[in-house]
Structure 1
């Protein structure tokens, strides 16, 4: 179409007419004189509008999703990082509470025994043939070789190697470990030896072996064992709880008696420990042992029912005359 003066006049006139019709229709509302024309337009162009909207909407949604995808992805990544930080903070808070409780228990145990201790944390476990762990204190903190290491529950082991900021602890479960020990409430002594990792296998849970030096001395399942103490208080101070006798080797004819011991310490989950930097002034003996569990309540046997048979030598009581026995059948005349 050529852009002529006549064409522009026609388009202007049509625009004026359209604006006038819109104004009249808007002001008239439901009583508008153009209502019929509006209904005809809606009937004619409504289906076309719906079809075009159905065609255009998916295209628009796809375009919006493409343009918004980078922003949504960044938002999702940001939320995921925030959630991860919150989870880590919750774990750290729970871990700190647990470590604080362990530390309080350990300081209480050390105070009861009269030990001067240096708190430490296990930072790694040995991967070789030895049962060892590494702790986060060393010579700068006053740690030296052959110091006793304990936890709130009992004996952990002894220091074997020391660095400026770390130290290596040989666990009591190591096969080369040998600890002078004593039975509770007794003067009977022996040696606790480690059985290594094999002591944890097979559900046995007895990684320690106790050899009583006197083969005739009494020993029973359930007795507890504490450290005897080394000469010069190194590498082991006296009175540290070791474990409970769970099984006794009954083989006869040996020079010693052997028992298998379940330790008080869970060596597979060590965390907060203490290095004994100064021994007690006197042997605490059994003061650090935990309270014994109460004995099981005796089972109540059912009450005996009285026998219907009269006791020998006693005659049954005579029944009053006229009283029928519940065990006799009435006579035919009754």
Structure 2
């Protein structure tokens, strides 16, 4: 509509009428003459108002959600931090328990071999200085660690120290292909050399090609001069297979290490070896085989245990019903002089005829 004098006059007139109606409605109170027109308008335009409100409310809710999103985000972040703190607390308790158990096992091993050890923790793994199987421990020269010291845990041989820093050291693990250690077979004391094979069992070459070895036999370290790089008596592993000798002067066996190199955590560096070779004393005791059940005597239909003295063999050659093999009627006690219930059936040679026989009943 154009901005003309007529339009301006109409606008002013409408405003005056609106004010007049508002004044009449307010002064009328509950008996306002505009109640009926208002009700009619509400009935007519109420559905339209609801529809418009339904369309506009989601937009309003979205605006409110955006307005409140900052506070909700902060609350969610706080709850997530509390949840992570609880998980860390629970996890730290499990880690503490596991480390305490590993430390206890390692101290028992060190006590059995009379090893003086310095405890350390694995803080890094990876290829260091060209080695493929190495770990870094949190102990160095400040802790009395030196190069070529034996590293153990509660299960046995872990490796040896190769490089040392002020606060950390690098350990070459026993399953590394560049790792070699002298071994001694449990019991027979046969000597050999074990070499790491990565994830596979270690390869041990016994110096005696005719050594009597079996699956399950265990090996320990032979030891080095002055205990470096290896102290004696540390458990190495268990034989899992024996390679064909093929007439060689040496014999090769495959040995599964006692140590699980993929789950190392707490280790001990042997800073002082034992005064005497502990030999096999560090090895854990072998499991006791279960006791065999005692055989029970089978009973015959007449209630007598089978295989007991005085029972009559069935189907004996030359025997008749009611007659013992020696020709004596049943019921007559007979002593043949044979020990351990070894009975000879159907023999009529002179040795049998001349055997002493005592018959009661005349």
Higher relative contact order (CA 8 A, sep 6+): 1
- The residue aligned with 1:236 is 230
Distance 1:5 1:266, change over 3 A: closer
Alignment of 1:36-75 (within 5 A): 46-75=46-75
Q: Does 1:256 align with 2:258?
A: no
How far apart, CA to CA, are the structure 2 residues paired with 1:244 and 1:10? Answer: 106
Distance 1:45 1:297, change over 3 A: farther
SS at match of 2:158: strand
- The residue aligned with 1:28 is none
SS at match of 2:172: strand
SS at match of 2:25: helix
Alignment of 1:194-233 (within 5 A): 194-195=196-197, 197=198, 200=199, 205-206=200-201, 208-233=202-227
Offset of residue 5 of structure 1: 10
- The residue aligned with 2:26 is 15
Residue by residue, what CA displacement relative to the aligned partner does 1:187-206 show, whole Å, maximum 9, x if unpaired?
322222223x2xx2xxxx41
How far apart, CA to CA, are the structure 2 residues paired with 1:282 and 1:15? Answer: 113
- The residue aligned with 2:307 is none
- The residue aligned with 1:168 is 170
RMSD: 3.6
SS at match of 2:183: strand
Distance 1:8 1:54, change over 3 A: closer
Offset of residue 291 of structure 1: 2.7
Alignment of 1:141-160 (within 5 A): 141-160=143-162
Residue by residue, what CA displacement relative to the aligned partner does 1:24-54 show, whole Å, maximum 9, x if unpaired?
xxxxxxxxxx9x9999787566535533432
Q: Does 1:266 align with 2:268?
A: no
Residue by residue, what CA displacement relative to the aligned partner does 1:124-175 show, whole Å, maximum 9, x if unpaired?
2232444222111000000011111001100011111111111111222222
Distance 1:255 1:15, change over 3 A: same
Distance 1:226 1:4, change over 3 A: closer
* Structure whose CA Rg is larger: 2
How far apart, CA to CA, are the structure 2 residues paired with 1:64 and 1:83? Answer: 28
How far apart, CA to CA, are the structure 1 residues paired with 2:24 and 2:42? Answer: 24
Offset of residue 57 of structure 1: 2.0
Check the 8 A contact 2:192/2:205 in 1, yes or no.
Answer: yes
- The residue aligned with 2:115 is 115
- The residue aligned with 1:311 is 315
Equivalent position to 2:281, from 278, 287, 292 = 287
Residue by residue, what CA displacement relative to the aligned partner does 1:50-101 show, whole Å, maximum 9, x if unpaired?
3343233223212212322333334334433443343334333322221122
Distance 1:263 1:75, change over 3 A: same
Normalised to the residue count of structure 2, the TM-score between the two structures is 0.70
How far apart, CA to CA, are the structure 1 residues paired with 2:209 and 2:220? Answer: 19
How far apart, CA to CA, are the structure 2 residues paired with 1:103 and 1:55? Answer: 69
- The residue aligned with 2:359 is none
**How many residues in Structure 1 have an aligned counterpart in Structure 2?**
296
How far apart, CA to CA, are the structure 1 residues paired with 2:260 and 2:135? Answer: 13
Check the 8 A contact 2:150/2:228 in 1, yes or no.
Answer: yes
SS at match of 1:134: strand
Normalised to the residue count of structure 1, the TM-score between the two structures is 0.75
